[in-house]
Amino acid sequence: MTADFSLRNLGKTPTPFFNGRWFTVFASILILSVSGGTYLFGLYSQHVKSSLGYDQTTLNLLSFFKDVGANVGIIAGLINEVCPPWVVLLIGSLMNFSGYIYLWLAVNGDELVKPQVWQMCLCLMIGANSQTFTNTGALVTCVKNFPESRGIVIGLLKGFVGLSGAIITQLFHAIYGNNGKSLVLLIAWLPPFVCCTLLKYVRVMKGVNRQENEVNIFYQLLYISLGLAGFLLMVTILQNRVAFTLVEYRLSSCVMLLLLFAPIVVVIREELRIGKNRKQVLDDFTPLKGLEQGKLPSRSQGKEALWFKNVFKPPERGEDYTILQALLSIDMLILFITTIFGAGGTLTAIDNIGQIGKALGYPNTSIATFTSLVSIWGYLGRVVSGFVSEIFLTKYKVPRPLMLTFVLLLSCFGHILIAMGVPSVLDVALAILGFCFGAMAPLIFSIISELFGLKHYATLLNFGGAASPIGAYVFNVRLVGHFYDKEALRQMAALGLFRKPGDHLTCIGIECYRSSFLIIAAASFVGCIVSYILVLRTRKFYKGDIYKKFREQA
């Protein structure tokens, strides 16, 4: 049996279960399960549009700045390079509250807040950027604690991020009923509260070996999360067919919270088992000569090269790149382009759920259901891509970029279904795109860690995520927003109406989105081709043992 500790820990008193790396995973699950406020933009965007009198192009501009904040986390990565995770999480909590509380005051027409468009863009970007601090502080920490299970870790944790939209929606109905504007208030205070409560338990554990039952424990956590996702799916469908009372919303939320906290049982049991094994080894341990004072033989370490040297002479794939070596590599350029075309398109579809539903004549209850279902399908995409890609990689040596290529190809069909405009097919289209959007993140983040190492993973992870808002700006603001407003003005002119200052444009029918989503489908196919180039470049690397060096270090 492989114990979950190293010789460095033998002289230490056994620590309580909440100081172990499995409790770090549990704390990260809770933090990330309420961190997806950016995914609910489609649910409250109509209130922003009507309260402030914006047209679709302006609303999509706000959406773009929201996407910039949610995906450009380079600052969070750089802070994580020099500060412990709790600092990163604390900064994110402050940003979340300040950004969304300003948005809530603006939407509620507070006399103290008379925002201009640039101010709304700024507050949304600040609030959304808190998500990158949360992801960096929690996810990167867990990946470093479990380097040989990184695909599973990323898939599981990003899965809970995907469920966060549905979780927050249920809590919103349980606390505020159907007051749509209060959703922004909930997003303002709930994530910082959870994060500040648990941030001291999120930390990197050094000198820890891999456990033999490590994957089995992650599977147990996966099964619990699948139960939570299944419950949310059932409740969401039921709420769309039956009008829930406030008491019923609160009862369903209590069940949801029980499932959300269920991983604590697995975590406590495992930490107690580890503590028992550690105590047994301590009792049987005879100190080696030279280790009486708790010292280990020193390891020879070469001098670290300066950050600006060998920029264009990177090490082998899988070794620790410097930040510049990674950013200037062809592999990173290919990943960046792939993310722009792939994630940018799916992000655009998710951000426009509300407007697409309105254009096709769906009621508000159905649009809220779409938002929750996309969140759940995003969860499934994350956990499936994380766990399945890890199995295919370790057992069959299937390159992870190849699975990314398949996901991009699947997303093309989702965009085409939206462009078709058949009302009964919209559910299927959003399910496909939610799944693909969720599946991309674990694959891209795992590929970055595998190709460029974990030393600067926090910064490189956030640089890779910065490609999404670039694609979202091109597709959402310049493409979808332009075609939507153009068609809305044409419909008004056909009715002999003229737009007055302050009026927001409303477009009805599939023509509002058909041309733009056909173009997005074509762009996603281009991203699929670019991704396959990375498959060809890295297939030799993935045929080897990419986790060998972590076992040697352990």
The CA distance from 135 to 423, in Å, is 35
pLDDT at 1 over 50: no
Cβ neighbours for 64, distance < 8 A, ≥ 6 positions apart = 469, 472, 473, 476, 477
Domain boundaries, the chain: 23-208, 315-553
Question: Which DSSP string do the residues of 10-60 spell out, in sequence order?
Answer: TTSPPPPGGGSHHHHHHHHHHHHTT--GGGGHHHHHHHHHHHHT--HHHHH
Cβ(325)–Cβ(311) below 8 Å? yes
pLDDT digits (tens, 9 = 90+) for 331-353: 999 999 999 998 889 988 988 88
Question: Which DSSP string do the residues of 315-340 spell out, in sequence order?
Answer: --TTS---HHHHHTSHHHHHHHHHHH
The CA distance from 346 to 430, in Å, is 9
Q: Architecture of domain 23-208 in CATH?
A: Up-down Bundle (1.20)
User: What is the pLDDT at residue 364?
Assistant: 73
CA 435 to chain CA centroid, nearest Å: 13
User: What is the pLDDT at residue 112?
Assistant: 63
Report percent pLDDT > 70 for the chain.
87
Q: Which long-range contacts (CB under 8 A, 24 or more apart) does 61-64 make?
A: 61/117, 61/121, 61/477, 61/481, 62/117, 62/120, 62/121, 62/124, 63/351, 63/472, 63/476, 63/477, 64/469, 64/472, 64/473, 64/476, 64/477
User: What is the pLDDT at residue 208?
Assistant: 64
- Residue 501: which pLDDT band, with cuts at 50, 70 and 90? low
Same fold? 23-208, 315-553: yes
The CA distance from 151 to 153, in Å, is 5
**Alpha-helical regions (H) of 453-494:** 457-465, 467-472, 482-494
Question: Which DSSP string do the residues of 60-122 spell out, in sequence order?
Answer: HHHHHHHHHHHH--HHHHHHHHHS-HHHHHHHHHHHHHHHHHHHHHHHTT-TT----HHHHHH
User: What is the pLDDT at residue 247?
Assistant: 92
The CA distance from 273 to 2, in Å, is 12
pLDDT digits (tens, 9 = 90+) for 251-280: 999 999 999 999 999 999 988 888 787 766
At residue 348, what is the residue type? T
Q: How far is CA 311 from CA 305, 308, 315, 342, in A?
A: 10, 6, 10, 28
User: What is the chain's percent helix, strand, coil content, to nearest 5?
Assistant: 75, 0, 25
Kindly state the tokens that stand for 90: 């604390």
Count of helices and strands (H, E) across the chain: 23, 0
CA 25 to chain CA centroid, nearest Å: 16
Question: Which of 1.10.3720.10, 3.40.640.10, 3.50.50.60, 1.20.1250.20 would CATH assign to domain 315-553?
Answer: 1.20.1250.20
pLDDT digits (tens, 9 = 90+) for 102-113: 999 888 876 666
Residue 524 exposed, middle or buried by CB count within 10 Å (0-12, 13-18, 19+):
buried
The CA distance from 112 to 451, in Å, is 50
Cα–Cα nearest to 17, from 209, 261, 285, 265: 265
Q: What is the mean pLDDT of the chain?
A: 84
Range ranked top by mean pLDDT from 2-11, 189-198, 304-313, 457-466: 189-198
- Please say whether the dihedral angle defined by the alpha carbons of residues 274, 277, 278 and 279, taken in this order, is positive or negative: positive
Cβ(374)–Cβ(66) below 8 Å? no
Kindly state the tokens that stand for 133: 């601090």
pLDDT digits (tens, 9 = 90+) for 406-429: 999 999 999 999 998 876 788 889
The CA distance from 304 to 94, in Å, is 35
The CA distance from 506 to 432, in Å, is 26
Cβ(232)–Cβ(376) below 8 Å? yes
At residue 463, what is the residue type? F
pLDDT digits (tens, 9 = 90+) for 118-177: 999 999 999 999 999 999 999 999 998 888 888 899 999 999 988 888 899 899 999 988
- Please say whether the dihedral angle defined by the alpha carbons of residues 519, 525, 528 and 530, taken in this order, is positive or negative: negative
Report percent pLDDT > 90 for the chain.
43
The CA distance from 209 to 444, in Å, is 26
The CA distance from 288 to 79, in Å, is 40
